[in-house]
Amino acid sequence: MLSNHFKIAWRSIAKQKMFSAIKIGGFSLGIAACLLIALYIGQELSYDHNNPNADRICRAIIDWGKPNTKNSYFPAPFADALRKDLPEVEKAGRFLDEELFGAGHGQVRTSDKQENTYEEGVLFADQDLLDILQIPFVYGDPAHALSEPNTIVITKRKADKYFPHQNPIGKTLIINDDVSKPYQIGGVVQDLPATSHLQFDFLRTLKGIELWPGEQTYWLANNYQTYVLLRPGTDMAKFQSKVSALKDKYLLASAEKSGDKAIIDIVKKVSLSVQPLKDIHLRSDGINDGLGHGDIRLVWLFGAIASFILIIAGINFINLSTARSANRAKEVGLRKAVGSDRVSLIRQFLSESLLFSFLSLVLGLALAWILLPYFNTLSGKSLSIPWATWWFVPTLLLSATVIGILAGLYPSFYLSSFQPIHALKGKISQGHKPTRMRSALVVFQFTTSVALIIGTFIIYRQMRYILDKKVGFDKEHVVLIQGTNTLGNRIPAFKNALLQVSGVKSASVSDYLPVSGTKRNDNLFSIEGRSQIDGRVSGQLWAVDHDYVKTLSMNIVQGRDFSIDMRTDSQAVIINQTMAKQLNLKDPIGKRITNNGATWTVIGVVEDFHFESLRQTIRPLCLIIDNSPSIISVKASTANMHDLIGSITTVWKDFAPHQPIRYTFLDQRFARMYTDVQRTGQIFTSFAVLAIIVACLGLLGLSAFMAEQRTKEIGVRKVLGASISNLLILLSKDFLKLVILAIIIATPLAWYAMDRWLENFAFHIDIEWWVFILAGFIAVVIALLTVSYQSLRAALVNPVQSLKSE
C-alpha cells in the first residue's frame, strides 16, 4: 500500500512539473538555510563544553557601577583570597594579557636561531589555571608544567613549528629578543579547539612575576583575570553572595587604608560576581575582557530567520496544494466513490508531502554544501558538514519526515474532506479564489521579507555612518609598523630614518592608538589639591611622543601641541574636551592635574576623538610624553602606498635584519572594529534575498495557477474589448493588496527591532521614514514583476485558443 502511495505521488509530481519545481525548490532553499544556520548555532552553543569540569568552572566579574565599566580584571591577590576564604573553591587560577608586560603577542625564536617570528596568543598564567583548563598534554607533566619561574607551555602546532619531530621538553625559547630571560618548555598541550573562548599558543608562567615591586599583594590595581574551579555540589547562588562579600573585606578595606576619599567612594559602588564558563562566549556583552565573543542575540536572530525561511517554503506548499484543490477534486471524488476512506486519502496526500520533503532534503544538502564556503566567509567561521558523525543522517531524515508531515497535514485534511457527489459534479471549482487562510499565509511571507529588507537597509546605513563619520583624527594613509619595541634604544634612530623616506610626512612612536587591540589603561584624575573636594575622574592616560597629534591630524582646540623644543613638556599634559568637562575646567590651560602621585600642567585641549567603538561614549583622556615603543605610526604624503611600503621595508631591514617587518593600515584596523556589524549586515542581506526568492516562488506558482484557472474568463474579456493593461490589473490587484497589507504590518515590527539594535551604539543613525517607503516599494516591485510575468503570458494568449474548448 505504501509503495503504491509513493508511486502515485511520483506520478503527480511528474505531471505538474512547474508546481512541483516551485514546491521542491522553495523547500530545498529553506532546508539549506536551516542547515547552514544550524551548523553556526551548534558551534556557537558548544563553546567550552569540551572541558570535563565545565559545569564547575566560572570566572570573576567586577562591575564598577557605571556604563561600560564591567570587566574581568582583578587585583593579583584576589585568587589567593578566593582559595583561603571560600571552601567551595577547589582551585583559583589567573592569566595576564597586560601588554605593558609583553603579553598578547611577541617575537619568538629558538635559542640557536637569530630569525624572529611574530606570534599571537602569548599569555601569562599560573599553574592553577592550567589545572582548571584541563587541556590534554602531549609532552610534560601537567601538574608542574608552570610551577617554576621562566617556564612555558606551548601548543602542539607550535612545538611542531619550532621543534619538528622532537620532544621539546627542557628546550628554550627566546621571546622579544630578551636573551637574559630564556623560557624553558615545561609542557606541550594539544591545540585548543576552535570552540574554546580562551585561545593561546604560548602560556608563560606567572611564578616569580611582579609588574612592579609589591604588586602581588596590592589590592588597588586590576590586571589579572581570575578563574575558579568549584567543588562538586556547590550552590552557585550562595557562592555568588560569598564572592560579593569579599568586596568589603579586601577592596573596600584597602581603599579605606589608603585614606583617599575618592577611591573609597568608587569602591563602594563596586559589585563582584561570577560568570559560568559556558556563558562566557555568548553572554559577555558589556564585559571588557580583551577576548573575542559571540552574541546570544545573533544566535537567536539567525535561528529565527532560518525558521522563517523554512516556514515560508512550507506556506508555498500549503498554498499551492490548496489552490489546486479543483484539479484534485475529481480524483478525491472518484477514490471515495470506489471505496477509499478519508484515512487512506490522508495517507496518500501525506505520502506526496513526504516525497516532496525528501527530494527537497537531497537538493537542500547539495545547496548547503555548495554555499558553505560563502557562508563561512560571511560568518567568519570554519564550519563543515559533519557527514561522518553518527547523529547527522538520522537527524536529517527525522527532520525531513517531521517537515513533510507538518507541511502536508493541512492540505491532506483539506483535500480529503471533499464530498464525492460535489467533487464529481464539478461543484468544487473555486480554487482560484483567495481564501482567508491562503491570504494570511501570503501576508506572513511578505511581512517577514519586508522586515528583513528594512533591517538590511538600516544595518547598511549604520555601517556607512560608522565608517564615514568624522572621528576626530585622520585614519587615511597611516601605516602602523608593529613590533618596533625589539629595536630597543635604536627606536629614535629608526624613526629619524623613516622621516628621510620620500613620501613620509611624519611619524610617531606610541602603542596607544584610537583603534581596538592597542594599549589601554584606567586611571583616576583630579585637579591638584581638590581630589578630596571634587572627587576623581576615571579616564585614560596615554604615553605618546611629540609628533603624535600631528601624525594623526588631531585638532587642538585650546592651548598648544607638544614641542620637542620645550623641555618642560615632559611634565605637561594634553587633555580631551571630555576630560576638561568632567573636571569642570572652563579655562584648563595652565591648570595642574594629578594621577597616582604624578602631577602635570595642562598645555592643550584636543578635540574629542573616538578611540573606542562607536558603541561607547567618548571617555576622558590625557596624553603625556613617555615611552610606549611597540608601534610606530607613519603618516604618508603620497597615495603610492606600494612604493612607500617598499622603502619602509628597506629601512626596517637595515635595523632588524633577523625580524620580518609587520605593518598594517590605520583605516583597516578601524574598519576591523566593526567586523561583527559588517557580518550581521551581510548575513541579513543574504537571508533577506533568500526569503524574497522563496516568497516569490510561491507567488509565481499562485499567479500561474490563477492565470490558468481564469484562462477562459480572460478570453471572454479580450473578445469583449478588454486591453492587456486591464487584464494585468485584474490578475495582479488581489496579490498587491496582500503585499501592501504585509508592508503595513512589517513596518512597526521592523522599526521596533532595529530601534532596539541601534541602542547598542552610543552614536547611531536615526531611523528615517523613507527607509520604510523604499523597502515597501521594492517589495511591491518584486511582487508585481513576479505576478505580471504570468499575468502577461495569460493576457497575450489568443482568445480563440482560450475559448475553443467551450
- Residue 405: phi, psi to the nearest 5? -70, -45
The pLDDT of residue 275: 95
Provide CB contacts within 8 A for 352, sequence distance 6+. 5, 8, 9, 12, 13, 408
Measured between alpha carbons, how far is residue 213 from residues 181, 209, 282, 473 in Å? 18, 10, 37, 38
If phi > 0 it is left, if psi is from -120 to 50 it is alpha, else beta; for residue 177 that is: left
Please give the full DSSP string across 584-596, using - where no structure is assigned: T-SS-TT-EEEET
Cα gap 230→170, rounded to integer Å: 33
The pLDDT of residue 590: 93
Q: Which three cell numbers stand for residue 681?
A: 549586515
Q: pTM for the full model? A: 0.81
Q: Which three cell numbers stand for residue 369?
A: 554544501
The pLDDT of residue 433: 46
Which parts of the chain have pLDDT scores under 70?
A: 1-16, 18-19, 67-68, 98-103, 320-342, 345, 410-412, 414-435, 701-731, 789-806
Q: Which three cell numbers stand for residue 187?
A: 609542557
CA dihedral 736, 739, 745, 749 (to 10 degrees): -150
Measured between alpha carbons, how far is residue 101 from residues 70, 106, 185 in Å? 23, 11, 20
Q: Given the C-alpha cell 601605516, which residue does it identify?
A: 479
The pLDDT of residue 430: 47
Q: Which of 20, 725, 723 is nearest to 356 (CA)?
A: 20
The pLDDT of residue 342: 66
Report helix angle 769-796 to 711-719, nearest 10: 80
The answer to whether 776 touches 743, Cβ cutoff 8 Å, is yes
The pLDDT of residue 806: 47
The pLDDT of residue 429: 47
The pLDDT of residue 286: 81
CA angle 246, 252, 258 (to 5 degrees): 140
59 has which bridge partners? Answer: 227, 275
Exposure letters 297-324 (e unless 16+ CB within 10 A, then b): ebbebbbebbebbbbbbbbbbbbbbbbb
- The continuous run of DSSP H or E covering 70 comes out as strand 70-71
If phi > 0 it is left, if psi is from -120 to 50 it is alpha, else beta; for residue 380 that is: left
